[in-house]
Structure 1
């Protein structure tokens, strides 16, 4: 498998760097990293992720999913998850490519394909699927454009369309079509998720969320939990805690300042929930994180 993906890896390493960063191709990101100890929070966008080297564990619905170069992942909506990356068996770093999904583009491509009768709501907002040689070849054509930046405006849209077309022919065609339907259950939950993201630092108002999604309270709760593995309130809490961790790591703000900045009304409640989420109080967690980052830099 490594030989088949070596051209992809070479391009990704030429244009990527430690962490996850956007490329010159719209919506395309490259992620590079060393193996991590234990899981850490991560926000998955609505995207397709292809691992080129190494592997990753993702926890959702109390299930641990591991995927590597033999699978690709589809995330149907923004999901706050826990993840852990792994080097490959020879100790080479994790390398991945992700493409944020454009629902309008998916809908446009799906309209050119035979219709599928499907009224069922997807059972989960995240799936793993077997990688194919056709997808590897199509992905390489898209990545190759990073070495020819002048060609990106004209050719990247065509390469992206081809990749999405191949994905729509695959086992998750129904899920991808649901992403393209704004008035389906998935589309309504996507709107609810967007509302929570935009109002994550204020008290969650279920009535406003129901109005945004166009769903009853019972229907909203049922579909939200099915797709994200969390209730709306739990989802907002995950977003707040992830943002708080980033704010603490980025500066010298106190834990109480950060707590109020992300929407907590009580610093003590923030500290309790932070401890449950990350396994250590805020400032101790920061010391441990900075120590780990320092060790990586030295190595």
Structure 2
């Protein structure tokens, strides 16, 4: 089944890159060679590789997956992703579906899944084995790109089947946390949403805890459990990734970009930029401009 899914992805992703599609929330990825590590914030989604292999790093945790396993992301998490197996003859081919919380909630209700009292947080990333049924559902969704007039009516049915397969699989509890209004994961999501909206402002642990409706100690413990980093380091990564985009895309100088994202000290900005990306801003940007490609993981 993975070969069939690979053929469908290759059919519509004919060039290397990240391809947004006419189907809402569906993205196809093709790479004909291994990539450098790419930084990004991964949104809640499921990623199925049809061909090739990839490494994803979150904090100090490493996840390696291929056509035998799919990746589930249940919360916005900062990651470093790297395609490690790809070639011209056998390119890396992947399909990603962002999770629609409303559709997920509706399906949980329709399936009459028993409510759970579990409030324990888990890592925001997990791997599980790709079944023929799940790969087949993805293949049917991707194949709709050949008949645009059918997308409006049939894509939601295929997407619903994918979510059904996921809820029947080993990652059901993790996905259900996205939809449970009073879950610990929802509290962490509130903290993440606040950080993403206010990343350039001075960090306030007390304000963040109030937004999440958690105690300070609980916030720090569960936030790192889910995202792999502390709230402060999460904010730093958001700042530095945006500064990198401003320098490369908007051609701002490093000092201006650093100030734009909340750094008052250019030297501190340069130090933290080097620590995350492996080189100071000028050298990093020169390298990126010599090797054009996506800045962020998809």
Report the TM-score, using the length of structure 2 for normalisation.
0.92
The yes-or-no answer on 1:267 pairing with 2:262 is no
The yes-or-no answer on 1:6 pairing with 2:6 is yes
Counterpart secondary structure, 1:112: helix
The yes-or-no answer on 1:74 pairing with 2:72 is yes
The yes-or-no answer on 1:108 pairing with 2:106 is yes
- The equivalent residue for 1:26 is 24
Counterpart secondary structure, 1:32: strand
Structure 2 CA distance for aligned equivalents of residues 248 and 241 of structure 1? 10
1:94-126 CA deviation, whole Å, 9 max, x = no partner? Answer: 221111112221111111223153514242110
- Mapping 1:1-299, distance limit 5 Å: 3-14=3-14, 17-36=15-34, 38-88=36-86, 91-113=89-111, 114-115=113-114, 117-293=116-292
1:132-171 CA deviation, whole Å, 9 max, x = no partner? Answer: 1001111111111111111111111111111100110001
Could you tell me how far 1:10 is from its partner in structure 2? 3.0
> Number of aligned pairs?
292
| Contiguous gaps of at least 5 residues in structure 1 | 295-299
Structure 2 CA distance for aligned equivalents of residues 148 and 37 of structure 1? 32
| Contiguous gaps of at least 5 residues in structure 2 | 294-298
Structure 1 CA distance for aligned equivalents of residues 7 and 36 of structure 2? 30
Could you tell me how far 1:215 is from its partner in structure 2? 0.9
Q: Say which structure, 1 or 2, has more relative contact order (CA 8 Å, 6+ apart).
A: 2
Q: Is the 8 A contact 2:28 2:95 kept in 1?
A: yes
Could you tell me how far 1:191 is from its partner in structure 2? 1.3
Runs of 4+ residues over 4 Å off in structure 1: none
Structure 2 CA distance for aligned equivalents of residues 203 and 162 of structure 1? 44
Structure 1 CA distance for aligned equivalents of residues 257 and 204 of structure 2? 22
Counterpart secondary structure, 2:157: helix
Structure 1 CA distance for aligned equivalents of residues 49 and 164 of structure 2? 20
Report the TM-score, using the length of structure 1 for normalisation.
0.91
Structure 2 CA distance for aligned equivalents of residues 288 and 21 of structure 1? 24
Structure 2 CA distance for aligned equivalents of residues 21 and 248 of structure 1? 24
Over 3 Å counting, the alpha-carbon distance change for 1:21 and 1:191 in structure 2 is: farther
Q: Is the 8 A contact 2:13 2:29 kept in 1?
A: no
RMSD: 1.9
